[in-house]
Amino acid sequence: MFKTALVKSASTPSSGTLPLDLFAAIDDLKRELNAVILAHYYQEPDIQDIADYIGDSLQLARAAANTNADVIVVAGVHFMAETAKILNPDKLVLLPDINAGCSLADSCPPEQFAQFKAAHPQHFVISYINCSAEIKAMSDIICTSSNAVKIVQQIPPEQPIIFAPDRNLGRYVMEQTGRDMLLWQGSCIVHETFSEKRIVQLKISHPQAETIAHPECEESVLRHANYIGSTAALLKYCQEVATQEFIVATEPGIIHQMQKAAPHKRFIPAPAENNCNCNECPFMRLNTLEKLYLAMKHRTPEITMSEDTRLAALRPIQRMLEMSV
């Protein structure tokens, strides 16, 4: 199993001499390799700006499923690159920093999850895409934050469900669908860092602002939200409504696109308890423009997995793509 480590990647090739214009050098490599760069909204602004495609987890999975490129560079975290590889076994899938993991994915170790699943043999397993390929391989269907409600609603009401790994998204989906589900108790360190107290203080000092939140946040934060949705849904929402000010309770990388789409509006990142930067995903931020360039230049770090795991993980991902059109 891939395990997240918050250290500088030893496997990222050493920089040597970097080109002065990394944007131009990456563009050249894109043409040379017939590569596509897929970036998540939580990536640093420069990476979002050089990407061919920016999206939430579902949009990135769709883009990976539809690409004609020979090389897929995933500017995101490990489970996103794994998803691209599961869908594209014959393509080279690169992740700029191989240590760009995910605390939520790590909160569901495959051995323990296998025991949990075995203890509930009648349950249908729905796993959030933020999990390892091994967990996907043990699942009946995958979901993302943008289609989780829709997918759960399509499961016959008498069918018991295990929902893994995010307890916060799971609880939110239970509330939205009225379905009882057995929740794996995993969570994301970034989305559990937001301070209810400081959000309420911000709401008082910015009475015109709407609070928008990702469903990975805890209930104590979600209860203050005017709108809850995936990163793509939050981006769409703040463009559609007339509101001019938003308190944004998700990783602040998304604010780059929000500000581009609505330059006259104001976006305030929801704060953590103390004045740390813990609302930034430390794993997403391991990727840099330099590492992206080096990964393309040296064609490493590459995502690999056993064919058995890939095939077992492919089936629930394909089901998700069919059920969320």
Binding site for ligand 13P (CB under 6 A): 56-57, 130, 144-145, 188, 214, 216, 230-231
> Least distance from C-beta 43 to ligand 13P, angstroms?
11
> Least distance from C-beta 193 to ligand SF4, angstroms?
10
Contact call for residue 168 and ligand SF4 (CB under 6 A): no
Contact call for residue 69 and ligand SF4 (CB under 6 A): no
Q: Name the binder of 174 from ligand SF4, ligand 13P, none, CB < 5-8 A by kind.
A: none
Angle at 237 between CA 233 and CA 240, to 5 degrees: 140
Q: Name the binder of 230 from ligand 13P, ligand SF4, none, CB < 5-8 A by kind.
A: ligand 13P
Work out which of 61, 251, 286, 316 binds ligand SF4, going by CB under 6 A.
Answer: 251
> Least distance from C-beta 190 to ligand 13P, angstroms?
6
Restricting to residues 184-203, which ones interact with ligand SF4 according to CB under 6 A? 188-191
Contact call for residue 230 and ligand SF4 (CB under 6 A): no
Q: Name the binder of 210 from ligand SF4, ligand 13P, none, CB < 5-8 A by kind.
A: none
Contact call for residue 132 and ligand SF4 (CB under 6 A): no
> Least distance from C-beta 201 to ligand SF4, angstroms?
23
Contact set with ligand SF4 (CB under 6 A): 77, 102-104, 130, 188-191, 216, 251, 281, 283-284
